[in-house]
Structure 1
Amino acid sequence: MKRPLRAIVAAGLLAAGSIVAVILGGNASADTQICDQYGSTTIGGKYVVQNNRWGTTAQQCINVTSTGFSITRQDGVGNTSGAPVSYPSIFVGCHYTNCSPGTNLPVQVKNISSAPGSISYNYVSGAIYDAAYDIWLDPTPKKDGVNQMEIMIWFNRQGSIQPIGSPVGNASIAGRTWEVWRGSNGSNNVISYLAPSAITSMSFDVMAFINDTRSRGAITSDWYLTSIQAGFEPWQGGVGLAVNSFSQSVNTGGTSTPPPSTTPPPQTSSPSPTTPPPGGSGCSVKYTAPSVWNNGFTADVLITNTGSGTINGWTLTYNLPSGQTVTSAWNATVSQSGSAVTARNLSYNGTLSPGASTSFGYQATLSGTYSSPTSFSLNGVACTRA
């Protein structure tokens, strides 16, 4: 699924949203109705609640309580193969210059000691939506516009919708197993953690997800956490969906240490010495592009040792078609010179016994019509296409 930004807003609309917050008194003490497209208010002296109807002209209203909000009207209808119609949510931090009261965000990841959060949702049947807990990060202390990295925790989904990109494995975080997806919506990178079944409430440290994303090479400790949000992305229906309660803090003053994880380590290790794949044509490559949009794509590359001996360290080379440029990668060190791409193993996936496979992926920009590379060589030996 490809979707645009959640809140691409003209300056005039941003001003309109601010006016609504003033009209509402800024801090909601009793139940408050918001129907303005980008209307918002604050609760608890700490959080911002926003209607954020960015993907439709149809009406949407939310009822803001002292601890959360509920959707009371949602007339928009979105294509389930495309973007949702809105993202009503509650957040701490800064979203398009709208910063929550007293927030210490943005703050560098390396300066965060913990980020304890909790959420309680109310779900409904007969609607198509996801319940999301969003974590936004950027290389700069950005308070406006688009952040480069979105971590999206899917607590629930209903209907034929899925995270952006494609599955890249599983992760054990906060005492649960999550399916991990990776991709881009064309404007920012996204790593999503999909729960196998609906979670109605949970208390956890957001840093566990940030550390896992960091271990995948998507961010560094020098990046900034800019906001943390929780709410719903409805495609169709959604009246009655509610965030019953939301609590989120970001504690600084110590260095964050990644907890034990089943995910691969950061992509900083030097590749081990390589040996040619034995047995002549001893390798096969399966190359797929699970997500392609108008100016970019993600690629998955599966390497299989089809020879009779073990490969100790690998280097895969091939040429990308014109107009394709690699921008980021995972599970391999990937470099590009002109059209020539070189992908080298990391410390944990360099050994391939006979019949064994490993995979890596990357995101790239695209100019023109997409096409796949046609030939590959592993350690100087031509591979067959799978």
Structure 2
Amino acid sequence: MAQRTRHIGIRIPLIATAAAVAIGFSAAPSQAAEWSSSEPFGEHRTSDGYTLYNNIWGAGAGSQTISADSSAHWDVTADHPATSGIKSYPNAKKVIDRPLSELSSLTSNYDVTVPDSGAYNTSYDIWDSDYDHEVMLWVNHTGAVGPIGSAQGTVTLGGATWTVYKGDNGGNQVYSFLREGDSSAGTVDILPVLTWIKDKGWWGDETIGDVQFGYEITSSPGGLDFVTNDFSVSSR
């Protein structure tokens, strides 16, 4: 797998110009999306505390547009060539900003409609606040895609059984959990996964930063649609 330089891309929107952030906020009929962008790092902050990113970051990427009615309902149309290497990770993000030891619950609901062709995964991307550690939870995947690192066995946590991979992309540690059996809708109990990583000694009492959810797209030739029918993150 190519080095995941997209993590730099994810942070770029935080310093994006007002003009870039504002793309898509023009007068439109009531049935149109609240926000839409085809800019590589287009972003939109919602009134309920989420941020949506188009996030086209990989070499050789094609075109991609993200459109949103809300943080819970958004879709992506992507036309990326059938070449290797991740092209984008369009996603919605909720910032938690609490130490692991202070969390009593961290859960998320998802419901997606994804294509049966192309190469991609539908995944959570969870970060500590310093961006030293990355936890990926793949709920489904299609085509020639695979995680960073080496297999560490299987574990049943958070409502599913996962094959666990551990590696390093050159910028941070990566812990990938690939769900056994693709799922298009469900609830993930995230906290037990994060606690399990701590119990393994792979990280300490990290402050949990971003909980992102989206589509890590390697190829989608001809244009494919990725639809988020529902998404939310809850913590306490």
Partner Cα separation in structure 1 for residue 13 and residue 47 of structure 2: 25
Given the two structures, how large is their TM-score scaled by the length of structure 1?
0.55
Match of 2:3 in 1: 3
Report deviation, 1:220: 1.2
Given the two structures, how large is their TM-score scaled by the length of structure 2?
0.87
Residue number among 93, 117, 129 corresponding to 2:108 in the alignment:
117
Superposed counterparts of 1:333-344, under 5 Å: none
- Cα distance per residue 1:42-88 (max 9 Å; x no partner): 33522111100011453211121222321123234441xxx310100
The residue identity in structure 2 corresponding to 1:125 is D
Partner Cα separation in structure 2 for residue 92 and residue 118 of structure 1: 13
Unaligned ranges ≥5, structure 2: none
Aligned residues: 228
Partner Cα separation in structure 1 for residue 192 and residue 2 of structure 2: 26
The 8 Å contact of residues 160 and 180 in structure 2, kept in 1 or not, is answered as no
- Call closer, same or farther: CA 1:54–1:125 in 2, change over 3 Å: same
Partner Cα separation in structure 2 for residue 203 and residue 135 of structure 1: 16
The residue identity in structure 1 corresponding to 2:111 is S
The residue identity in structure 2 corresponding to 1:231 is G
Match of 2:89 in 1: 87
Match of 1:71 in 2: 76
The residue identity in structure 2 corresponding to 1:163 is P
Report deviation, 1:159: 1.1
Match of 1:35 in 2: 38
The structure whose RCO (Cα within 8 Å, separation 6+) is larger is 2
3-state DSSP of counterpart to 1:86: coil
The 8 Å contact of residues 80 and 87 in structure 2, kept in 1 or not, is answered as no
Partner Cα separation in structure 1 for residue 175 and residue 47 of structure 2: 30
Unaligned ranges ≥5, structure 1: 94-104, 252-386
C-alpha RMSD of matched pairs (Å): 2.6
The residue identity in structure 2 corresponding to 1:39 is G
3-state DSSP of counterpart to 1:241: strand
Residue 144 (structure 2) pairs with residue 160 (structure 1): yes
Partner Cα separation in structure 1 for residue 202 and residue 16 of structure 2: 35
The 8 Å contact of residues 3 and 169 in structure 2, kept in 1 or not, is answered as yes
Report deviation, 1:128: 0.6
The 8 Å contact of residues 130 and 234 in structure 1, kept in 2 or not, is answered as yes
Report deviation, 1:190: 0.8
The 8 Å contact of residues 183 and 189 in structure 1, kept in 2 or not, is answered as yes
Match of 2:225 in 1: 240
Q: Which has the larger radius of gyration?
A: 1
3-state DSSP of counterpart to 1:249: strand
Report deviation, 1:154: 0.6
Partner Cα separation in structure 2 for residue 240 and residue 84 of structure 1: 17
Partner Cα separation in structure 1 for residue 171 and residue 94 of structure 2: 22
- Call closer, same or farther: CA 1:166–1:24 in 2, change over 3 Å: same
After superposing on structure 2, the runs of 4+ consecutive aligned residues of structure 1 that deviate more than 6 Å are: 10-13
Superposed counterparts of 1:359-374, under 5 Å: none
Superposed counterparts of 1:1-386, under 5 Å: 1-9=1-9, 15-16=15-16, 18-25=18-25, 31=33, 32-56=35-59, 57-66=61-70, 67-79=72-84, 83-93=85-95, 105-138=96-129, 142=130, 147-221=131-205, 223-237=206-220, 239-251=224-236
- Cα distance per residue 1:20-59 (max 9 Å; x no partner): 323445xxx9513210110011335221111000114532
Partner Cα separation in structure 2 for residue 151 and residue 158 of structure 1: 20
- Cα distance per residue 1:212-262 (max 9 Å; x no partner): 1112211112x11011000001111062112221110221xxxxxxxxxxx
The share of aligned pairs that are identical, in percent, is 26
